[in-house]
Chain A
Amino acid sequence: MKLGFLVDLNLCMGCKGCEIACKVENEVPLSSWRLRVKYIDIGTFPDTSRSFTPLRCNHCENAPCERICPVSALHYLDNGIVNIDSSRCIGCAGCMMACPYGAIYMDPESNTADKCTYCAHRIEGGLMPACVVACPVEANIFGDIEDNTSHISRYITEHQGNVQVRKPEKNTDPKHFYVGGGNQTLNPLAHERIEGYGLFNNITHLKTLGDPHHSILDRFLTPIFGGHNDHLKNESFVDMPNEAGLDSHEEGGHH
């Protein structure tokens, strides 16, 4: 069995239901995302179009994150999922440097690397990933790509020639496919991040990784004496100060 994911971008309408479902299911902390939907506008008014691209871990068969992890916190499951054992992670961020898809984040509550696991805990119980269940238009298709009769295999066969992966030149052999994608939606260098064009805010870069209030000394003391990062828990997000990890400097768009 080799589990894979396919997103039909022709169907996705950018509702972000998958993003929210993932957040809730996996208790993903603030300022962190396992799955996100990116909006990209193409063209000049009035000839414009907007595309929506859900982005998550690609569960590569030749995963650079697994190779660079010094303690095997990132490891393969028999079903092809690239899983992560947070209790073993040392927080070196090597995986974040290695992942060509920027799919790994430093969890601000645990100060360990984390990422999409295709909801491995749900799959173990015979359930579909939360994002698949939440999608109102069934744009997310999940299943065994080694089984020719599975929905995902049949979908790939039916859309031969229009099935793509991100950054195939990296030789990571991703198991996450897109139908209806193009260079401008799948290639991050083909679009710009221009300050002032965002729909809701001007934030382009996170200021810190992990808990912004977690000093170097705390990194040693917290595992022994306990943490003090309750302000980052999801239930207290209303009180979260803006400076707690977000920065609005524009560094990503001038190349």
Chain B
Amino acid sequence: MDHVSTIEATKAVVTLDVPLPGIIWGWMITLNMWAKSIGTGVILVGAFLLYRHKKEDMPNLRWLMPLISFIALNVFLLFTLLDLHQPLRMVNIFLHPHWTSAITVGAWMASLFTLLITIMALIGFFDAHPDARRHCSLANSCRKMSGFYEKVFPFVVFLAFPVTMYTAIIMAEASARELWTAPAEVVQMLLAAFMVGSASLILIAGKWSDKAKKDLATILALSVMFSFLMYMGEYFFSFKAAEVEATLAYIHSGGSYNLQFWSAMLLGYIIPFFIAWGSLKEYNQIMMKFAALTTLVGLYLAKSTWLEIPQMIPLS
């Protein structure tokens, strides 16, 4: 027992206790947040582009934007459901809602958002492909409802903001984890949506006008920069509560979370920032697609790190 001497006289050591729960919200919740950021981000960034540019500058945006959102939102909803220990009881959120819970409010908003996005995706797709399923009554009904797309779009954009941000309130309600505070997480969720929203649209922006593509590069550069600065501010420069300091020690002290966090910062923030910044002068399609992919990977790693480390410390 030569390691006895390494314990300070003032330190206490747990000599008998039960095993502690480890990671409670794991990779499925990370995937949930990541996919939701894409689902709402493409709508927010798409709306900005439609405000700034003509539709002809972005010919495939009208149908691909809701389609990407639809796919991402379904990934988000699927993994939300799979993460429940009693998934069939998900219906209780609608039958017995508890409105102080951000989980409840979020589930209702996200369900409505997904419904509207589904309608927009169907209308957008069948409008863009007039020969597809010409004898299908659903397809023809969607084509007849074409005007509904533009009518509902402003409401969908409005709804995209709270759907993006409610996860931050859930994290704030998880008050046992002091690393997650509502002000910081709300901004980080919004920035994450702009990051992966622009990254996703960069992947489909091949035939868009140069001005629209440069706007995408601007949004990506600004969002990754501000998000990176927030992470650095939280990591290095704030005076922290003891629990937050203990949580961040899982990165400070090396090990797998250290590698994961700094890989996330490099892939999701530093690399895309310099590529996007460079593309503001001369847009480089290949490099921007590379930046978009690293952003998507980096954000997942960053979310995963920030979600898991507060769960490592003992609460009692």
Q: Decide whether A and B are members of one complex.
A: yes
Which of these binds chain B: A4-12, A105-113, A141-149, A156-164? A105-113
**How many A-B residue contacts, CB cutoff 8 Å?**
220
Question: In residues 45-73 of chain A, which contact B (Cβ within 8 Å)?
Answer: 45, 47, 50, 55, 64, 67-72
Task: Establish whether residues A192 and B13, one from each chain, have CB atoms under 8 Å apart when the complex forms.
Answer: yes
Q: How far, in whole Å, are A91 and B10 apart by their CA atoms in the complex? A: 40
Task: Establish whether residues A102 and B316, one from each chain, have CB atoms under 8 Å apart when the complex forms.
Answer: yes
Closest-by-CB residue of A relative to B6 is: A194
The 8 Å CB contact of B85, one of A91, A184, A199, A206, is A91
Question: In residues 62-115 of chain B, which contact A (Cβ within 8 Å)?
Answer: 82-90, 92-93, 96-98, 100-104, 107
Task: Establish whether residues B21 and A39, one from each chain, have CB atoms under 8 Å apart when the complex forms.
Answer: no
A255 touching B89 in the complex, CB below 8 Å, given contacts A97-B174, A191-B13, A207-B22:
no
A102 touching B21 in the complex, CB below 8 Å, given contacts A94-B174, A191-B14:
yes
The 8 Å CB contact of A189, one of B90, B246, B312, is B246
Interface string of B220-254 (1 = CB under 8 A from A): 00000000000000000000001100110110010
Q: How far, in whole Å, are A252 and B84 apart by their CA atoms in the complex? A: 25
Contact partners of A207 in chain B: CB under 8 A: 22
- A31 in the interface, Cβ–Cβ < 8 Å? yes
Q: How far, in whole Å, are A19 and B100 apart by their CA atoms in the complex? A: 33
Which of these binds chain B: A125-133, A215-223, A231-239? A215-223
A91 touching B4 in the complex, CB below 8 Å, given contacts A193-B17, A246-B19:
no
A102 touching B13 in the complex, CB below 8 Å, given contacts A44-B4, A70-B104, A90-B84:
no
Interface size class of B (residues with CB under 8 A): 35 or more
- B24 in the interface, Cβ–Cβ < 8 Å? yes
Task: Establish whether residues A251 and B16, one from each chain, have CB atoms under 8 Å apart when the complex forms.
Answer: no
Q: How many residues of A contact B (CB 8 A)?
A: 77
Task: Establish whether residues B22 and A67, one from each chain, have CB atoms under 8 Å apart when the complex forms.
Answer: no
Q: How far, in whole Å, are A191 and B82 apart by their CA atoms in the complex? A: 36
Q: How far is the CB of B25 from chain A (nearest CB, A)?
A: 6
Task: Establish whether residues A112 and B9, one from each chain, have CB atoms under 8 Å apart when the complex forms.
Answer: no
Q: How far is the CB of B109 from chain A (nearest CB, A)?
A: 13
- A115 in the interface, Cβ–Cβ < 8 Å? no
Task: Establish whether residues B25 and A38, one from each chain, have CB atoms under 8 Å apart when the complex forms.
Answer: no
Task: Establish whether residues A220 and B87, one from each chain, have CB atoms under 8 Å apart when the complex forms.
Answer: yes
A102 touching B20 in the complex, CB below 8 Å, given contacts A40-B14, A88-B92:
yes
Task: Establish whether residues B85 and A72, one from each chain, have CB atoms under 8 Å apart when the complex forms.
Answer: no
Task: Establish whether residues A97 and B24, one from each chain, have CB atoms under 8 Å apart when the complex forms.
Answer: yes
Interface string of B281-316 (1 = CB under 8 A from A): 000000000000000000000000000000111111
A203 touching B19 in the complex, CB below 8 Å, given contacts A68-B173, A70-B104, A92-B83:
yes
Task: Establish whether residues B96 and A88, one from each chain, have CB atoms under 8 Å apart when the complex forms.
Answer: yes
Interface string of A80-94 (1 = CB under 8 A from B): 000000001111111
Task: Establish whether residues A252 and B314, one from each chain, have CB atoms under 8 Å apart when the complex forms.
Answer: yes
- A212 in the interface, Cβ–Cβ < 8 Å? no
- B7 in the interface, Cβ–Cβ < 8 Å? yes
Question: In residues 121-155 of chain B, which contact A (Cβ within 8 Å)?
Answer: none
- B3 in the interface, Cβ–Cβ < 8 Å? yes
Residues of A within 8 A of B (CB): 31, 33, 36-45, 47, 50, 55, 64, 67-72, 88-94, 96-103, 105-106, 111-112, 166, 170, 172, 184-185, 188-194, 196-200, 203-207, 209-210, 214, 216, 219-220, 223-224, 246-247, 251-252, 254-255
Could you write out 12 A-B pairs with CB less than 8 Å apart? A31-B19, A38-B316, A39-B15, A41-B15, A64-B173, A89-B89, A90-B84, A101-B176, A106-B85, A192-B13, A219-B86, A247-B19
